[in-house]
Amino acid sequence: MNSTSDSGYFEAGKYGGRFSQYWWARRFYANLVRRYRRSGRLLEIGCDIGHTLARLEPQFETYGIDVSESALENARQVAPNTQFKHLSAEEIGEFGPDALDVVIALHVLEHVSRPEEVLAQCAEVLSPGGLLLMATPNMKSPFVKRKGQKWYGFTDETHISLHQPETWYRMLNEAGFRIVRAFGDGFWDVPYVPLVPAQLQLLFFGLPAIVQTVTVFPFIPVSLGEGLIVVAEKEGRPPADEPGG
C-alpha cells in the first residue's frame, strides 16, 4: 500500500479484515524478512498504518516513517512498540550511517522522483550486510501492454518512477547492494478478460500468487508478476548471528 495524505484512505475498512488480500500480503512480507534476519534494528519506509511493523515488533527494534500524519496516528495504535517519525523516503539519511539492519520499502520507490538517491541513502543507513526488501510495479508484466492505461501501475498518477527490472537491479548495484533474490508476485490485477467475473479470474490467474503468499516460498519468475519484489544485501560482512540468504 502507498502513502497518502488522505485520512479517509486509512480507515480500517479500506484494508479488509482478517485473511483479506491485504492481511495475507502483510503476513508474507513480515515472514519473508524473518527468513533472512532474526533480529536487529528495522525501518519501514512508507509504513502506512503499521501492520507489517506490528508483526515484526516481537523480533526487531522497529521504526516506521511516512509522509501522512493520519497514517502515523493509526500506526501508533497498531504497532505500539514501534518508534514513528513523520519523514519522507528522501529523508531517511537522518537515521545516520550504519544505524539499521533491515530496511523495508514496499511500493514506495515508484513515488519518488529520484529512487536511485533513496536507494543510496538506504545503503548508507544500513550496517554492512544489512537487508533491503523492496517491492515496486513490474514493467515486465505481460499485462502492461494488454491493459494499457488500465494497468494498476499507470492508474496512480503518483507513480512517477516506473522502470524495467534491469534498471532497478542497476540502481541497487550502483548503490552498493548485492541482489539476493528477485521474483514476481503473480497476477492479481483483475479483470484481465471481459465477461468473466473478477473473483473467478483472481482464483484462476492468481493461484500461483496465493500459493506463494501462503507458503512464503518465492517461486514466481519476475516475468510472471504484476509487481517486482527484491531482497538485497548491502555489500559487506553480515553480523555473525544472522542467517545467510
pLDDT at 21: 84
| Main-chain phi, psi angles of 14, to 5 degrees | -65, -20
Show Cβ contacts of residue 156 under 8 Å, excluding neighbours closer than 6 positions.
2
pLDDT at 163: 98
Supply 185's cell numbers.
508476485
Mean pLDDT by 10 residues, the chain (245 residues): 37 60 94 97 97 97 97 97 98 97 98 98 98 98 96 97 98 98 96 93 94 97 98 79 42
Q: SS3 of 210, please?
A: helix
pLDDT at 70: 95
pLDDT at 37: 97
Measured CA distances, 12 to 75, 218, 226 (Å): 11, 29, 25
pLDDT at 14: 52
Helices 207-215 & 198-205 angle (0-180, nearest 10): 60
Among 105, 106, 129, 98, which residue's Cα sits nearest to residue 119? 105
Instruction: Note the CATH number of domain 7-234.
Output: 3.40.50.150
